[in-house]
């Protein structure tokens, strides 16, 4: 009998949430792995908060202290995420106005 003891680690889901209040840099307001990540994603969905999957960014955000501002190195990629959310929200507002016409 041949037995191979190879432990496979299933990567845990990760999530991070940002807040930006137009002063200073965006802040990490929630982050976690596994169950906590699932809850962050669930709450975002319930609140209608856009979700963008970006493994490299979430890994970098996991290193930022909770309530801490993102480092300068992440400004460009986070700006792209914020622009994506802005376009998404603008599209939703336009759809609402188009329905009212």
Q: Give the residue extent of every domain in the chain.
A: 14-100
Q: Is residue 28 within 8 Å of residue 64, measured between CB atoms? A: yes
Topology (CATH level 3) of domain 14-100: name from scop (3.40.1690)
**Threshold 0.75, pTM exceeds:** yes
pLDDT tens, position by position, 14-68? 999 999 988 899 999 999 999 999 999 999 999 988 888 999 999 999 999 999 9
Q: Is residue 19 within 8 Å of residue 25, measured between CB atoms? A: no
> What angle (nearest 5°) sits at the alpha carbon of residue 24, between those of residues 23 and 29?
95
Strands (E), the chain: 14-19, 27-33
Q: Is residue 81 within 8 Å of residue 20, measured between CB atoms? A: no
Q: Is the dihedral of CA 84, 75, 58, 49 positive or negative?
A: negative
pLDDT tens, position by position, 57-72? 999 999 999 999 999 9
């Amino acid at each position: 009998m041949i037995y191979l003891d190879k432990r496979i680690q299933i990567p845990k889901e990760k999530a991070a949430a940002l807040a930006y209040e137009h002063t200073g840099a965006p802040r990490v307001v929630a982050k976690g792995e596994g169950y906590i990540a699932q809850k962050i994603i669930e709450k975002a969905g319930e609140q209608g908060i856009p979700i963008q999957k970006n493994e490299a960014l979430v890994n970098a955000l996991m290193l930022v202290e909770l309530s801490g501002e993102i480092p300068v190195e992440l400004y460009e990629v986070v700006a792209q995420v914020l622009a994506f959310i802005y376009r998404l929200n603008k599209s939703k507002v336009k759809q609402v106005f188009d329905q009212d016409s």
